[in-house]
Amino acid sequence: MNAVCFVMSAVLLTGFVFHFVFSVLDLSLCPDEQILNGNQPDMDDGVGCENLDEDAVAMVEETQSGDEDANSNESSWSMDFSTVLRVKTLHISSPILAAKSPFFYKLFSNGMRESEQRHVTLRINASGMHKLQYIFLGYVTYSNRCEQAKLNNNSNITLYTEEAALMELLNFIYSNTLSVTTAPALLDVLMAADKFEVASCMRYCSQLLRNLPMTPESALLYLDLPSSVLMGEAVQPLTDAAKQYLAARYKDMTKFQEEVMALPLAGIEAILSSDDLQIASEDAVYDFVLKWARAQYPKLEERREVLGSRLARFIRFPYMTCRKLKKVLTCNDFDHDAASKLVLEALFFKAEAPHRQRSLAVEESATMNRRFIERAYKYRPVKVVEFELPRQQCVVYLDLKKEECANLFPSGRVYSQAFHLGGQGFFLSAHCNMDQQSSFHCFGLFLGMQEKGSLSFAVDYEFAARSKPTEEFVSKYKGNYTFTGGKAVGYRNLFAIPWTSFMAEDSLYFINGILHLRAELTIRQ
């Protein structure tokens, strides 16, 4: 393995220039050599210097004797190296670097004594996109004791960079431009800029990367950056763009089932965080998360940890059906106490009045948690009240936004989630269709039974809608039907008015932009 050393020689923030010496070393040739703390000469480039005091940070020394090696436990630094293979020298102004980088400002102002301490060596691997080691050699004294302890107690500090990346960073500090344009090279520079605290370069790299064509591979690469980089304000627009790209690409997960199942955790989180996920219902989201977690984390303990700490917050339990919530309580993949809390919260939300639900959703929209915000489900959520006595009966509430109704024109339809009565699954469907008698578009509402087969099921039903000015439910249509499965029955023109009147600004049926529908179903004796 090769490494690159950067030896900096500087006059402390006086406007003078200093030079970098780039040394490439073959680390595999001398595995026994160590990097120590102590009062030893700097052997790099064969230059001997003054002894250091007790505050000096890691220096390079030749192979130790047995006694010296036994007494070297005070330092945990270690790196193998051999002879210098090549050297470059550059002259750089320390005030310019210090002005752009808190790292270099601290290094030059606190880490070097004005008259005696002039050399700092940075060493990184010469190979490209690998985890690289770097250490500070020579005459560096940190006034921050915590930072010094951190350096002395870590044998390896990893850095994703290479010589070219650091040279690009230095060039940016002077010119505010970069010569590289490819994503891998820009990521190298981004890593170097993060390590050496050049925020302006991080922002510039992030902007250039955002301007490049996004792919699933590049988006996942951006989301897999080290946590220190991901947390940086300068990189946030890039990671946001990566999440938006993945959410848009896989918005209809059914079209990319195999591809989505192979995505890593960060990609799944990006997709599930979207409000625009085109999926049948939140029940389907829950089923997908379980399927993915079981495939990626076969061990139960690991799966519980990932579900509880990472993925559960992306499942919007309040919009799951009660039948599915019952299954959550008995699912072994979730911690029982955590599952009980999630289900209880969902049931409390379902019990809230619609205006209160909307208020909770608005409050949540300003936070990272979006459990009360409804997605663009293919099947619209319903609220169901069931009765067993004196007859089996259920009351179903379906709310549609005015924009959703407008999108139905001229021949669209929207379906509700399934609900159950007497062990049979039913659904509601709202249509924009032609009135058979007057030949104009109108709003229709239908009731269908899911199961197909020879079983007959007789039901009395009634459709109602809230209407101005009282805003109470007003009955619009009553009927009865014997279902045999796979059939739907209802009324093509529920409000007995043309579509234009139904959608007009002064429409009687939209209250604060919401159409409130109710269906009562009773099993006939």
What's the pLDDT score for residue 376?
A: 83
pLDDT tens-digit series, residues 17-51: 444 444 444 434 433 333 223 333 333 333 333 33
Task: For the chain, give percent helix, strand, coil, nearest 5.
Answer: 35, 25, 40
**pLDDT tier for residue 340 given thresholds of 50, 70 and 90:** very high
Pick the more confident residue, 149 or 433. 433
- Cα–Cα dist 269/285, whole Å: 12
**pLDDT tier for residue 292 given thresholds of 50, 70 and 90:** very high
Q: Is the pLDDT score of 369 beyond 90?
A: no
Give CATH 2.60.210.10 domain extents, the chain: 383-523
What's the pLDDT score for residue 118?
A: 56
- Closest Cα to residue 56, out of 128, 133, 125, 116? 116
Which range is least confidently modeled, 284-288, 302-306, 336-340, 362-366?
A: 362-366
Strand 119-125 to 2-9 pairing: antiparallel
Which range is least confidently modeled, 126-130, 163-167, 396-400?
A: 126-130
User: Alpha helices, DSSP H only, in 366-428?
Assistant: 402-406
Pick the more confident residue, 377 or 69. 377
Pick the more confident residue, 291 or 358. 291
Pick the more confident residue, 291 or 73. 291
What's the pLDDT score for residue 38?
A: 31
**pLDDT tier for residue 364 given thresholds of 50, 70 and 90:** confident
Q: Across 12-16, 71-75, 129-133, 439-443, which has the greatest mean pLDDT?
A: 439-443
CB neighbours (10 Å) of residue 423? 9
- Cα–Cα dist 378/358, whole Å: 20
- Cα–Cα dist 134/432, whole Å: 67
Q: Under CATH, to which class is 251-372 assigned? A: mainly alpha
Give CATH 1.25.40 domain extents, the chain: 251-372
Pick the more confident residue, 422 or 522. 522
Q: Is the pLDDT score of 96 beyond 90?
A: no
Angle at 191 between CA 185 and CA 193, to 5 degrees: 100
Q: Is the pLDDT score of 389 beyond 90?
A: no
- Cα–Cα dist 488/484, whole Å: 10
Pick the more confident residue, 1 or 246. 246
What's the pLDDT score for residue 126?
A: 52
Fold of the domain spanning 383-523: 2.60.210
What's the pLDDT score for residue 8?
A: 53
What's the pLDDT score for residue 254?
A: 87
What's the pLDDT score for residue 326?
A: 94
Pick the more confident residue, 244 or 358. 244
- Mean pLDDT over all residues of the chain? 77
- Cα–Cα dist 116/113, whole Å: 6
**Torsion angle of the four alpha carbons 446, 451, 456, 458, in this order, in degrees rounded to the nearest 10:** -40
**Does CATH number 3.40.640.10 belong to domain 1-25+82-129+153-210?**
no
Q: Is the pLDDT score of 107 beyond 70?
A: yes
Strands (E), 291-418: 379-380, 383-387, 393-401, 413-416
Pick the more confident residue, 437 or 184. 184
8 Å CB contact between 280 and 378: yes
Give CATH 3.30.710.10 domain extents, the chain: 1-25+82-129+153-210
